[in-house]
Structure 1
Amino acid sequence: MPRTTADRPAGNATTDPHRNRALDATTPTPAAPAPASTWAVDALPWEELVTSALLGTDRRPPVPQGAPAPADGPAALLDAAALHTVRQRAGLLPAAPEARPELTAPDPRPPLPEAARQRLAHLLADRAGPSGGGRRGSAPDLTELIPQWLATANRKGFRAPAALVPALLDAARARTDLRPQALAFAGPRGLWLAGLNTEWKFALRGSANGSVQPDITDPEAVRSLWEEGLFAERIALLDAVRAQDPPAALALLATTWSTERAEDRLMFLDSLRTGLSGDDEPFLEQALSDRSRNVRATAAELLSALPGSALAGRMAARATSCVNPDRSGGGASIAVEAPHECDAGMQRDGVAAVPPTGRGERSWWLGQLVEATPLGIWEERFGGRPAEDIVALPVADEWAVELHTAWCRAAVRQRNPQWARALLGAPSAPPASGPGTASIAERSKLLATLPQTERASWIAEFVAAHGLSEAFQLLGVCAVPWTGPLGRAVVDALDIARDGGSYPWSFSGVMGLAERCLDPAEADRLEVLTAAQDEQEGASPGAGGYWSEAFQRLVSTLRLRAAMEAELTT
């Protein structure tokens, strides 16, 4: 095929004698080279172009140092930026498509009623608002209602709306107290989304409702997760197996116990509190020889909660050699002779040899022995006397506080309501003169061992007799909503505090509890408290108006809680 003029190589017209001169008329004229200033702009790095754009092309011309400035600096700068952008994009390679994620597991729960869905959207949208430090006004605090809303929705068995699951996970990420209820409500869709977003990975790490667990009836799946899973996943797995089959959980733990880290052994051992029984005693006895002091102490604590355990028997033998009926005087009393040493056997059974700063050694050892002794031993030791009579006996040599405090800890550890009642005494009695302990924290633990109705009645009488200054911790152990007598006692005490002329924020903790825990049906009865009162002589300036706002907020919150309950019931 003959070559055309376009196929011929371009030659130099002055040095190539064979070139046809006729081609000169048809060959296109080459484009003129770009001005030197343009090439200089194109050669600048991106950082220099950014600097020039920030400072202005007049102050920082977009050219290398010493090169002539372009005639139109801004235009040259924009052209160079466009050229850089095109070069960067041209250098990108197409990414290989990833596999699509598997579909989320189905959620068979019914959808929320529309009114409840809108309420949830409002609560989640408001959660990032200001907490209302200082003067809160009369509007309800919606952020404090989210936990209660979630608990009710879970109790009713609804599933979360798909569009609100991301906001729900964001709320749970920001507030750890929301996580159990939020993850239960989010269900399988929440776990599916958490696997796609690292900001929500907390949902996959061991919360009671957030960890993806295998079928615990599948031994191979359980063994695989136990041996290969993350620590939090293993904790959640152990808890799940323990709840259904305590011996199987103990056997699972035993397979890797000797190879676990000390801090992990401590956490695993703590999981045995659920379903603790005599079947756990052999394993816990072995743990008394563990290398870790904390593991030994926890094992001893668990064994002492089993009144029939060998450790409880050993501790009882030691304690009864120290505490006995005193028959030397005319009336019944208690004689105490604290131990003089802490031998190796005591230390193996969980007695810490070194006391805290400020505590005597002998009293420290005595308290630990009594705390670990089954409480029924004392009834036998004191001739069949009931707990109320024993704690009322005088104690020799000023050992009463140490002995009663140890009995309080024993009643809590052994969940013994009879001894808890005896050590609490009458709620109307001054705390300092009670038979047990004056510590409000210890009293709240004792109350937690009582049935809910009895607990609320005791606290209602305590509030009526002593007011609210020491009742905050006690109120925290009561079931929600508060019973009628307890709610009325708290409101009456708040009304008395208002009449005293102080500011309401002195009782903000109790007022916050009342907003969350009072029965919503009380709202109409409390309406009378929302009216502003005349300033009383000697009252704090403006206190009446502040109290009026506080009671308005209380009533508004109760009515809002009632509306939320109705929306979730429809």
Structure 2
Amino acid sequence: MNVSPAPPPAPATIPPSGTAAPSWEDLVTHALLGTDRRPSGYGTADRPAPLALLDAAAVATVRRRAGLRPAPAARRPEPAPGDPRPALPAAAARRLALLLADRSGGTGGGRRGSAPDLTELLPQWLAAANAHGYAAPSHTLPALLDAARGRTDLRPAALAFAGPRALWLARLNPDWRFALRAAPGGGTALPGPEDGEAVRRLWQEGLFAERVALLGALRGRTPALTRDLLLSTWSTERAEDRLMFLDSLRAGLSGADEPFLEQALGDRSRNVRATAAELLAALPDSALAARMAVRAAACVALDRTGNSPAIVVEPPPECDSGMERDGVVVTPPTGRGERSWWLGQLVEAAPLGTWSRRLGGRTVPEIVALPVADGWQGELHAAWCRAAVRQKDPVWSRALLGSPSAPEAGGPGAVSLAERAKLLAALEPAERAAWVAGFIAAHGLSEAFQLLGSCAVPWAAPLGRAVVDALNIARDAGSYPWSFSGVMGLAERCLDPAETARLEALLAIPDEREDAAPGAGGYWAEAFQRLVTTLRLRAEMTAELTPAPPRPDAPPRPDASPRPVAPPRPGDQSRPGDQPPEAAG
């Protein structure tokens, strides 16, 4: 039987010369909507519209692939710089690849499962690797840069670990240009203070990021030169640039900066004036601090007419031009009274040493314990809290915090937990951890999240025990663990792995109480299992990063120069697990 061959498909219709070809976006839109819902000119009597649309897409694909004209080869980049730091141990390198490859971020929702969240361990791993001074393996650099691009909190540690070769890669891939912005001077070498001509030229002609980096580099070595550079161009700088430049004086602030800051109090920008006033207020011996002390002392006095001494407050009746020049903001926020707003700013800027002289030579705890008349205690204590934080005064911070078992009784009743967390920052780490442990023992975990974030990592033993005990109490209460997911997440990152043994007793599913939430015991066991697994993993990470002691009989290891990193090909999207790049010539 003769079978006639099927007719060949009609050739795709190619737009005539001078007619614009359909864009790829237009073709995709037609395909998604359907040719019956969005009629087009692709179909013919011999060729149905869907097939004609596919033909047009094929033509567009060929057109795109063939549309590049030959061009001279670009100049090959220089080889990547070497990294003299010691190589990462093999086990730690494998761990890094696993951390970079994990994208789970938990299971989502309130229930997180029992598996550790590896993405949350990456910052801790990077900090430990940087503390040992290791160099990043070449093949992990693309994944490191991708991770730092997606998480700004990773950038400082990731770029420090990645080293100079990351900057070399960043110059070749626009997606990683953030690394150049984060590096001092955009990854270029900054001149030293001894090269005065190069410093002046970079300050006069450099990009804004380079000038900010130059100020930061010179500030710690030659603060006088930093001030000279600022003065040389101050009047011609933009207001937003003057604000950033002024902010660079926070590092190493001293009385030598006072004349320049006093001059900045007359700046035409309100934000610049406010920053200059804030910096001057941080200098207890500055003229601005003395002026603020006089103003604040006129508003706060000791009243001895009653049965016991008390503090009386009379807020300023107006905000005069002198107060405004010294940084007092005239207009209060919505819902705040003008006079109380001005009072708070005066007390906050006054040196804390003012109050012992003003209030009868009393000690700081005695001053804080004094009653305040007419309902001004919350306002006055809140201003003292801000002053203690600004001036980093541990004596005032300790007195204002009060007893952790009854903060309101010995401290400022109107001060929020966020302000208490700032006060804790002025204390030594051991005292800070002990105070938070006492707070948790008295009040539980429901209000402790912000306070825990101010404690040093890993948590001290008393704080770790307090957190574990509070979690155990919460479990026995019969509620679901999801209300404590934030504390659980902190514990996974901050609890000392030595607490693992105490936690193992909590892995069993407890007997369910009659008034308990259904299945709560199982969910708690799952949460504790994840915590224990994460702590064990952190212990393994620490062991992997710890250099092995050299064997007495081992021969000295010859220095090995790192292989240069090859430039990425256009459009290359390397990921963890890719083969190491080939060496650049």
Q: Give the TM-score category using the shorter length.
A: 0.7 to 0.9
| Distance in 1 between residues matched to 2:216 and 2:149, nearest whole Å | 23
Superposition deviation, residue 240 in structure 1: 2.3
Q: In 2 relative to 1, CA 38–154 (structure 1 residues): closer, same or farther, beyond 3 Å?
A: closer
1:97/1:531 Cα in 2 relative to 1: closer, same or farther (>3 Å)? same
Q: Are 1:314 and 2:314 an aligned pair?
A: no
1:87, 1:132 → 2: CA distance?
A: 41
Corresponding residue for residue 260 of structure 2: 283
Q: Secondary structure at the match of 1:514?
A: helix
Map Cα deviations across residues 456-487 of structure 1 (whole Å, 9 max, x no partner).
11111111111111110001011100000000
Aligned twin of 1:443: 420
CA distance in 1: counterparts of 2:307 and 2:23, whole angstroms: 102
Using the TM superposition, give the Cα deviation of residue 249 of structure 1 relative to its aligned residue in structure 2, in angstroms.
Answer: 2.2
Which stretch of structure 1 is more off in the superposition, 325-334 or 260-269?
325-334
1:525 aligns with 2:525: no
The reply on whether 1:510 has 2:487 as its aligned counterpart is yes
In the other structure, the counterpart of 2:571 is: none
Deviates more, 1:298-307 or 1:254-263: 254-263
Change in CA separation of 1:520 and 1:229 when aligned onto 2, cut-off 3 Å: farther
Alignment counterpart, residue 343 of structure 2, candidates 359, 366, 375: 366
Instruction: Indicate if the aligned counterparts of 2:368 and 2:411 stay in contact, CA closer than 8 A.
Output: no
**1:170–1:39 Cα change, 3 Å:** closer
Is 1:173 equivalent to 2:162 in the alignment?
Answer: no
**Cα 1:477–1:207 shift into 2, 3 Å:** farther
Q: 2: CA distance between counterparts of 1:98 and 1:517?
A: 50
- Equivalence for 2:566: none
1:108 aligns with 2:91: no
| 8 Å Cα contact 2:186/2:209 also seen in 1 | no
User: Are 1:268 and 2:266 matched, yes or no?
Assistant: no
The DSSP-based 3-state class of the residue aligned with 1:339 is: coil
Q: 3-state SS of the aligned residue for 1:328?
A: coil
Does the alignment pair 1:380 with 2:365? no
Deviations 1:5-33 (A, max 9, x none): xxxxxxxxxxxxxxxxxxxxxxxxxxxxx
Relative to 1, partners in 2 of residues 1:46 and 1:471: Cα closer, same or farther, differing over 3 Å? same
**Is the counterpart of residue 298 in structure 1 residue 275 in structure 2?**
yes
**Inter-CA distance 126–210: structure 2 relative to 1 (3 Å threshold):** farther
Report the TM-score when normalising by structure 1.
Answer: 0.84
When residues 209 and 185 of structure 1 are mapped into structure 2, their CA distance, relative to the original with a 3 A threshold, is farther
Q: Map Cα deviations across residues 198-236 of structure 1 (whole Å, 9 max, x no partner).
A: 000000113569744414343344334333333333323
Q: Is the 8 A contact 1:424 1:436 kept in 2?
A: no
Gaps of 5+ in 2: 1-9, 548-585
Q: Which ranges in structure 1 are unaligned for 5 or more consecutive residues?
A: 1-36
> Please, what is the CA RMSD of the aligned residues?
3.3
| Per-residue Cα deviation, 1:276-306 (whole angstroms, up to 9, x for no partner) | 1101111110110011111111111110110
3-state DSSP of counterpart to 1:121: helix
- Contact 1:152/1:568 (CA < 8 Å) preserved in 2? yes
| Correspondence for 1:568 | 545
Moved over 4 A (4+): 37-51, 62-66, 84-89, 128-131, 207-211
Q: For 1:192, what is the secondary structure of its paired residue?
A: helix
**1:232–1:540 Cα change, 3 Å:** farther
Write the deviation string for residues 84-143 of structure 1: whole angstroms up to 9, x where unpaired: 969995x86531222221222221101100000010011111136666333111110000
Q: How does 1:117-156 map to 2 (within 5 A)?
A: 117-127=93-103, 132-156=108-132
TM-score (norm 2): 0.82
Counterpart code for 1:343: D
**Aligned counterpart in structure 2 of residue 192 of structure 1, from 164, 168, 171:** 168
Q: 1:221 to 1:132 in 2, by over 3 A?
A: farther
Q: Greater relative contact order (Cα 8 A, min sep 6): structure 1 or 2?
A: 2
1:168 maps to a residue whose letter is L
Q: Distance in 2 between matches of 1:199 and 1:271?
A: 28
Shift of 1:274: 1.2
Answer yes or no: is the 8 Å Cα contact 1:213–1:237 preserved in 2: no
* Residue equivalent to 2:391: 414
State the SS of the aligned residue for 2:365: helix
Displacement of 1:524 in angstroms is: 2.0
Structure 2 counterpart of 1:6: none
- The 1:343/1:96 distance shift into structure 2, 3 A limit, reads same
Q: Would the aligned equivalents of 1:424 and 1:437 in 2 still touch at CA under 8 Å? A: no
Alignment partners' CA distance in 2, 1:307 and 1:157: 39
- 2:204 pairs, out of 200, 219, 227, with 227
Q: Is 2:369–2:410's contact at 8 Å kept on the other side of the alignment?
A: no
Question: Is 278-287 or 96-105 further displaced after alignment?
Answer: 96-105
Give the corresponding residue for 1:22: none
Structure 2 vs 1, CA of residues 220 and 162 (structure 1 numbering), >3 Å: closer, same or farther? farther
User: What secondary structure, in the 3-state scheme, does the structure 1 residue paired with 2:182 have?
Assistant: coil
1:556 paired with 2:556, answer no
1:482-501 equivalent positions in 2, closer than 5 A: 482-501=459-478
Opposite residue 134 of structure 1, the aligned amino acid is: G
Question: What is the aligned partner in structure 2 of residue 30 from structure 1?
Answer: none
Structure 2 residue matching 1:196: 3-state secondary structure: coil
Aligned residues: 522
Corresponding position: 1:259 with 2:236: yes
Q: C-alpha separation between the residues in 2 aligned to 1:563 and 1:39?
A: 62
Counterpart in the other structure of 1:427: 404
8 Å CA contact 2:377, 2:412 repeated in 1: no
3-state secondary structure, aligned to 1:512: helix
Q: 1:329 to 1:208 in 2, by over 3 A?
A: farther
1:401 aligns with 2:378: yes
On the 8 A contact 1:180/1:209 being kept in 2, the answer is: no
3-state DSSP class of the match of 1:103?
A: coil
